[in-house]
Amino acid sequence: MTSICMYFQVHQPHRLSKYTFFDIGSDKSYFNDARNKEIFERVARKCYYPTNAAIKKLIDQYNGRFRVSYSITGTFVEQCLKYDPGVLKSFQELVKTGCVDILDETYYHSLAYLVGQDEFKEQVKKHRDMIKEHFDYEPTVFRNTEAMYSNDIAKLVESLGYKGILAEGWHSYLGWRSPNYAYRPQGCEKIKLLMRNYRLSDDVSFRFSTQGWPEYPLTADKYARWLAGNEGQVINLFMDYETFGEHQWHETGIFQFLEHLPGEVFKHPHLDFVTTKEAVERYEPVGTIDVPYVSSWADVDRDLTAWLGNEMQRNAFESVKRLEGEVKTLEDELFLDMWRKLQTSDHFYYMCTKWFADGDIHKYFNDYVTPYDAYMNYMNILSDFKRRHSDAKARGIMGAEEKPENGKPKRRRMRIVKKGNGHKA
């Protein structure tokens, strides 16, 4: 038996407002509500609603034999609640079928692991609480932001009690081995590692509508034949959920592909679908994977250079990271939340200069004309954040007259998570 494990990343960042030098010192919001709403509503219409409906239909149609997994960020759920709770409801209904697994990650889809272990644990806990609250679900599998992964990350995630973790199935550490097996992270004893089959995943997420691709058009029966021809325990197809309807438009036939895929897969009796949780429970590791440095699923480099590849990115990240102590001593939920929203990986991605000249995939997800615009805008906001923060501190109050985005003034004390007080999954 070979299983197919489909996992989808569901995320929307809180995009930043245009923040000029002249805005520093004003009370302008850091987050561009109008733009976030516009994008959220567009993606909801093109992707979330139709894809959720299609998945629900497939689960019903095949009596639960079709199964999928999601990682849903906190920033995404916040936008659901704010712009269209119906989207959240449709995810909740999917989870209720029992054929869906939810993974944990950092609430803010952030680079928190690089900020520090405590910050990482706090954001994971926040995500865990959010999933419990909205889905009444307790994840057992973890996926770090952008599939950032290393031996140390695996060890840390194992210590939090997770049974499984996802990573990119990149050849530099897989070597001759196949990604279609469960592995054990180097230095870990219990946690299992599922590795993305990037060729088969990217056939759908990137190449599906590429007319110059020799395999174009990709049909469900052809793809199912490829899957059937793969050896191994579990074929991990990990992709952004927005692949359906947003990256690959409706007109490309991506929904027909999705609708026909399970039926075509079931024509091959040795194939079935599993969730990430089931894959981890069912399959025993066949070997150990050693990833001493932090890898990711981005670009051809599969490293951190999409977020921290140039000096501007590193400087912006270091600048936000440096504020940790200051922000936490203020003990104000709103400041903490703003600070964490500024850690979301997307902000750093926009500053990437790697593919800038060629105008590549980075361009597609990007409101900024140049990486310089992105950096400057971010730094202006950070500079204002520092000002607001020191104003709040100077006033000697534990919280500023900062309005949360729903307009109601709210002043909550943060719960301090003590060092080493990591939760258990």
Partner 1 sequence: MKVLMVGWEFPPFRSGGLGTHCYHLTRNLSALGVDLTFLMPKNPFKIKCPFMKIVEVDPALMVGPYSFTPMVSDNYSGNFFDDVWKYNNLAVKYALKEKFDVIHCHDWMTTMAGVEIKRRTGKPLVITIHSTEYDRTGNLSPNHWILEREINAIKAADVVITVSEMMKKQLVERFGADPNKVVVIYNAIDMEGWAIGDIIRKHPCKKVVLFMGRMTIQKGPDFFLKAAKRVLEKNKDVLFVMGGKGDMLPQLIRESIQLGISDSVMFLGYIPDNELPHLYAAADVFVLPSVSEPFGITVLESIAAGTPTIISKQSGVREVVKNTFVVDFWDVDEMANKILGLLEYPLMHAAMKKNGKREISQYTWSGVARETLEKAYKRVAR
Active site (catalytic) residues: 146
Shortest Cβ 357–partner 1 spacing (Å): 6
Tell me, by CB under 8 A, how many residues bind partner 1.
Answer: 18
By the rule CB under 8 A, 373 interacts with partner 1 = yes
Our finding on whether 310 is near partner 1 (CB under 8 A) is yes
C-alpha–C-alpha distance, residues 341 and 322, integer Å: 15
The answer to whether residue 370 forms part of the interface with partner 1 (CB under 8 A) is yes
Decide: is 364 part of the binding site for partner 1 (CB under 8 A).
no
CB of 356 to partner 1, least distance (A): 6
Nearer to partner 1, 35 or 65 (CB): 35
Q: What stretches of 23-111 show up as alpha helix (H) in DSSP?
A: 33-43, 49-61, 74-83, 85-96
Question: With binding defined as CB under 8 A, does residue 375 bind partner 1?
Answer: yes
Look up tokens 């922000």; give the residue.
327
Token pair 């990256």 in the structure block, residue: 247
Q: Report the residue number, 231 or 358, with the smaller CB distance to partner 1.
A: 358
Q: What are the phi and psi torsion angles at 209 (to 5°)?
A: -105, 15
Give whichever of 117 and 315 is closer to partner 1, judged by the CB atom: 315
Taking the least distance from each CB to partner 1, the nearer of 254 and 352 is: 352
d(CA 275, CA 286): 19
- Please tell me whether residue 20 binds partner 1 under the rule CB under 8 A: yes
Q: Quickly tell me which residue has 């010192």 as its tokens.
A: 25
Site for partner 1 contains 62 (CB under 8 A): no
Cis peptide before 214 (omega within 30 of 0): no
Phi, psi of 260 (to 5 degrees): -90, -15
Distance between CA 416 and CA 327 in Å, rounded? 12
Question: Binders of partner 1 among 339-358, rule CB under 8 A?
Answer: 353, 356-357
Answer whether 49's CB lies under 8 Å from 87's CB. yes
> Could you say which of 211, 284, 300, 369 contacts partner 1 (CB under 8 A)?
369
Question: Rule CB under 8 A: is residue 367 a binding residue for partner 1?
Answer: no
Q: Are 7 and 237 in contact (CB under 8 A)?
A: yes
Residue reference for tokens 């929904």: 255
Rank residues 22 and 176 by Cβ distance to partner 1 and give the closer one. 22
The footprint of partner 1 (CB under 8 A) covers: 20-22, 310-312, 315, 353, 356-357, 369-370, 372-373, 375-376, 379-380
